[in-house]
Structure 1
Amino acid sequence: MVNEIAGRVPVELSVPLPSFAAEAPPSWRPLLETARLLDRAGVDRLLVSDHVVFGENLEEYGRPEVGGRRGGVQPTGPDGHWLEPLTTLSVIAGTTSRVRLGTNILIAALRRPVVLAKTAATLDVLSGGRLDLGVGVGWQREEYEAAGLRFEERGELLDRSLEICRTFWRDRRAAYRSADVEFEGVHMMPKPLQPGGVPIWVSGTVNRRVVRRLARFGSGWIPWGDAADDVVTGIARMRDALADAGGDPEGLRVAGTLPIARRDDRTVDLAPTMDAVPDLVAAGVTDFRARLPLSADPAEAEEAAGALVTAFRKATGRTPPGT
């Protein structure tokens, strides 16, 4: 079975939620309704995106040299409405029961590390240990400037944030020292419910800094740029680099896109959609991220989501939901 190929790493299905809009929606209630129906349908993880503010140079998103994606286009203009992800996941946590809750990605360095550690631990506790933090450096200089941070130092800032979060999640009596942050004998409770703290998924291309970050902090990798465009080659390169850096390539969890085949009426064609799964699992994808075209009718949407989950679990050798 396909799940045997993945070894000790589970194969999961994640769905991004529309937590942003080009114009102000009449209500955000459909977001919460979608989260509930995907929870009932058996989806493994829900994902939300992050932008705190926007500058007016959105063409920078298409520049890989600053952290963007070649040819990338932002889905909204600078006045697009983007919900803060940890706040959004807190509300979703209270309206769902089992689905995992993740960020894809959180620009973690924009938050003060001690507050991020507390916020994430609180959300993990209140959700029953369901939080995953996908983190990255982002691409937009203006967000760092608005936070009073240097864009050129974004990698170091992210590493420091993750170090401090891990320290507070792990140690009863926390101490830390760096060039700009120093504390000793500091206590933070509650700790996250999940052993070792909230799992961290590191986003980025295959480069020295991302490899080192993944080896130090990462439970999973979210490929970006060329590595996401050719995920099979990207995984092979990352595994080799991770082994050289002292990480665990065999236990690496990797996010990848589940290509959705559609019929003429734009509904999901399940058979050709699932055809792509075995080869991607064999290559090392463990978290399939699917942008589902859901009907505005809740019953139809839940039925379609449930059918996708059932087909996915059959394709990966997992027990169908409800059995």
Structure 2
Amino acid sequence: MQPQLSTGLRSFTPEDPGSWQHLIDVARAADEAGVDRLVVSDHVAFGEQLEDYARPELGGTEGGVQPTSPDGYWLDPLTVIAHLTSVTTRVRFGTNILLAALRRPLVLAKVAATIDVLSGGRLDIGVGIGWQRAEYEAAGLPYRRRGRLLDHTLEVCQALWRNRVADYDGEGVTFSNIHQMPKPVQPGGVPIWVSGTINPGAMRRLAVHGSGWIPWGPEVNDIAGGIERMREAVAGYGRDPSEIEIVGRLRRIVRDDNGELDLEATMAAVPDLVAAGVTDVRAGFPICEEREAATEQLSAIVEAFRAAAS
């Protein structure tokens, strides 16, 4: 499989932007330029302890800073994707990440299947447990059990996607002879990309449910070592590691003289990422919000990426 290029869509802002047209324009530009995947992030609500994002023991990241205050504007990622798939034709969309455990599994399965059907099979769902206690408590869910809640959510979704008549007996939800149509277009259901560090809970989740891995924590900066440890871990749960796609972050390098993106220097890291096993190179570039300029910018980035990855 050829390495793919993905980038994030900024579906959140520190304050009311007045218009979200830039999301549509950038998505169309990415579609035309040949970007492989666009991802959007998720928060349903905020408490006021945003400093917890910098605490790895809570699921945050060392030195992490949230990009908005508690009053930042965050759009729902699945609603954003549903709309953007209607104005594009080929680019895939994913969540990075969806706090899936905050959604009722039966409803999430239906929403995701609907988007997959209407988009012609262009949806991926990246999931993680999150870090924010207040978000779970506001939803009436136990924060300390969020890992198990996520597993349960994925179990229900995949049971509904993969079986004409579904049965499930799990924590808090039991059903039998349940029908939910339509099924996702993609065989086996919407691909699940699991975010997490190399820990038993995340690795079991990846082995059982995952089509792809989104590294988190120390593995982000040691991608080669992280991939090796991930493959060993999922093999221990009986999963063939070669089946799992892998995200690797491409760090942008800017010129000393003017602070602009040094595209050649940035893309120089791509061969090492690909050699390590990365299949989805995720680039964090500031993208022009005007469609024509964004198309020109992204076309140059895609061309440079294809050359570096070949």
TM-score range, shorter chain: over 0.9
Q: 1:250 Cα shift? A: 2.0
Please say if residues 266 and 293 of structure 1, whose CA atoms lie closer than 8 Å, have aligned partners that are also in contact: no
Question: Residue 83 of structure 1 aligns with which residue?
Answer: 75
CA deviation vs aligned residue, 1:82-103 (integer Å, no higher than 9, x gap)? 0000001011111111000100
Question: Residue 228 of structure 2 aligns with which residue?
Answer: 236
Report the AA paired with residue 278 of structure 2.
V
Please say if residues 121 and 184 of structure 2, whose CA atoms lie closer than 8 Å, have aligned partners that are also in contact: yes
1:204 to 196, 200, 211: 196
Task: Say which is worse superposed, 206-215 or 9-18, in terms of deviation.
Answer: 9-18
2:138 to 137, 146, 149: 146
2:9 paired with 1:34: no
Question: Residue 190 of structure 1 aligns with which residue?
Answer: 182
Report the AA paired with residue 283 of structure 1.
A
2:132 paired with 1:156: no
2:60 to 44, 57, 68: 68
Counterparts of 2:105 and 2:288, CA distance in 1? 40
2:267 to 265, 274, 278: 274
Question: Residue 47 of structure 1 aligns with which residue?
Answer: 39
Counterparts of 1:69 and 1:260, CA distance in 2? 20
Please say if residues 49 and 106 of structure 1, whose CA atoms lie closer than 8 Å, have aligned partners that are also in contact: yes
Query: Per the alignment, do residues 163 and 297 of structure 1 end up closer, same or farther by CA in structure 2, a change over 3 Å counting?
Result: closer
Q: Counterparts in 2 of 1:206-225, with a 5 A limit? A: 206-225=198-217
Question: Residue 287 of structure 1 aligns with which residue?
Answer: 280
Counterparts of 2:20 and 2:211, CA distance in 1? 31
* Structure 2 unaligned spans of 5+: none
Q: 1:286 Cα shift? A: 1.0
2:104 to 100, 103, 112: 112
Counterparts of 2:156 and 2:206, CA distance in 1? 16
Please say if residues 22 and 289 of structure 2, whose CA atoms lie closer than 8 Å, have aligned partners that are also in contact: no
Q: 1:316 Cα shift? A: 1.7
Q: 1:244 Cα shift? A: 1.6
* Structure 1 unaligned spans of 5+: 1-8, 318-323
Report the AA paired with residue 301 of structure 1.
A
Query: Per the alignment, do residues 277 and 171 of structure 1 end up closer, same or farther by CA in structure 2, a change over 3 Å counting?
Result: same
Please say if residues 129 and 193 of structure 1, whose CA atoms lie closer than 8 Å, have aligned partners that are also in contact: yes
Report the AA paired with residue 103 of structure 1.
T
CA deviation vs aligned residue, 1:12-55 (integer Å, no higher than 9, x gap)? 00010010000110210111111111111000000000000000
Provide TM-score, normalisation by structure 2.
0.97
Structure 2 residue matching 1:250: 3-state secondary structure? helix
Please say if residues 49 and 105 of structure 1, whose CA atoms lie closer than 8 Å, have aligned partners that are also in contact: yes
2:123 paired with 1:131: yes
Q: 1:296 Cα shift? A: 4.5
Structure 1 residue matching 2:182: 3-state secondary structure? coil
CA deviation vs aligned residue, 1:68-117 (integer Å, no higher than 9, x gap)? 11110100010000000000101111111100010000000000000000
Question: Residue 100 of structure 1 aligns with which residue?
Answer: 92
Task: Say which is worse superposed, 114-123 or 229-238, in terms of deviation.
Answer: 229-238
Please say if residues 231 and 256 of structure 1, whose CA atoms lie closer than 8 Å, have aligned partners that are also in contact: yes
Question: Residue 259 of structure 1 aligns with which residue?
Answer: 251
Identity of aligned residues (%): 59
Structure 2 residue matching 1:190: 3-state secondary structure? coil
Please say if residues 167 and 176 of structure 2, whose CA atoms lie closer than 8 Å, have aligned partners that are also in contact: yes
Question: Residue 316 of structure 1 aligns with which residue?
Answer: 309
Question: Residue 6 of structure 1 aligns with which residue?
Answer: none
Structure 2 residue matching 1:104: 3-state secondary structure? strand
Report the AA paired with residue 173 of structure 1.
V
Provide TM-score, normalisation by structure 1.
0.93
2:299 paired with 1:306: yes
Counterparts of 1:265 and 1:297, CA distance in 2? 22
Report the AA paired with residue 307 of structure 1.
A
Counterparts of 2:252 and 2:135, CA distance in 1? 33
Q: 1:247 Cα shift? A: 1.3
Question: Residue 17 of structure 2 aligns with which residue?
Answer: 25
**Number of aligned residues:** 309
Q: 1:297 Cα shift? A: 4.4
